[in-house]
Structure 1
Amino acid sequence: MTMNEVSERYKIPVKILKEYESWGLCGEIKKEMGSWHYDDSDIERLSTIMTLHDIGFASEEIEKYMRLLAAGTSAETERIKILEEKRNGTLDEIHLKQQQLDRLDYLRFDIKRSKKDI
């Protein structure tokens, strides 16, 4: 598939595809008649990139993760460490949001209680 076909079919912005190519991690992508052609393994890697993007990884973090992925099993420990750090950061954000929600609920409760006292 060409870059435009991949972009349309999988809803991956061309910008992301070009960035991916610039990392030199394109695997089996072949250039034919001036345009890139993606095979199934390329699509699988692009899916991983989009997943990382969707869960909050910055481009630099995605590139690092993908380089480790390309390194194979020798880099699995480092990949797990990266994912655990991101998971812990996400949990911290969830806990902060829960505290904010608790405070909002208290303020709502306080207003409703004061209405009853009037």
Structure 2
Amino acid sequence: MNKKEVSQKYRIPVEVLDEYESWGLCNVVKYVMGEWQYDNQDLERLSTIMALHDVGFSNKEVEQYMRLLLETPNSKQTRIDFLTKKRKSKLDEIHLQEKQLERIDYLRHEINERKF
């Protein structure tokens, strides 16, 4: 499949496909008649890339993770550590938002108690 077909069929933004191509992580250059051709292995990688983007990884973080996955043998623990760090960061964000919600609730309560 070419870039347009992959983008439409799997709803992957063209920008993500451009990013993937720019990293040079394809095993074999599959450039046919002026277009990249994506195979099943590429689609699996793109699925991982989309999952990483969906959970809040930056483009740079996605590239780092994918390089570990594809270029570094025995990187399992490093990738787990990478994901654990992102998880902690997300939990910190959630806790901050919970505190903000508590503050909003307090202010709403204050308004209701004063009846003005």
TM-score category, normalised to shorter length: over 0.9
Name the residue aligned to 1:7: 7
Which residue identity does 1:77 align to in structure 2? Q
**Cα–Cα, structure 1 residues 29 and 9, in superposed 2: closer, same or farther, change >3 Å?**
farther
**AA at the equivalent of 1:94:** I
TM-score of the aligned structures, taking structure 2 as reference length: 0.93
Structure 1 residues without counterparts, runs of 5 or longer? none
The equivalences for 1:26-37 within 5 A come to 26-27=26-27, 30-37=30-37
- The match for 2:65 is 65
Moved more, 94-103 or 13-22: 13-22
**1:14 CA displacement:** 1.3
Bigger relative contact order (CA 8 A; separation at least 6): 2
Matched with 1:112 is: 112
1: CA distance between counterparts of 2:20 and 2:65? 12
Where 2:60 maps in the other structure, the secondary structure is: helix
Q: Does 1:100 align with 2:100?
A: yes
Work out the CA distance in 2 between the residues paired with 1:12 and 1:101.
34
How far is the alpha carbon of 1:86 from its aligned partner?
A: 0.3
Contact 1:29 1:39 in 2 (8 A): no
| CA-atom RMSD in angstroms | 1.5
Q: Cα distance, 1:72 vs. partner?
A: 5.7
Q: TM-score, normalised by structure 1?
A: 0.91
Give the superposition deviation at 1:70.
0.5
- Tell whether the 8 Å contact from 1:2 to 1:36 is kept in structure 2 after alignment: yes
Distance 1:71 1:28 in 2: 14
Structure 2, gaps ≥5 residues long? none
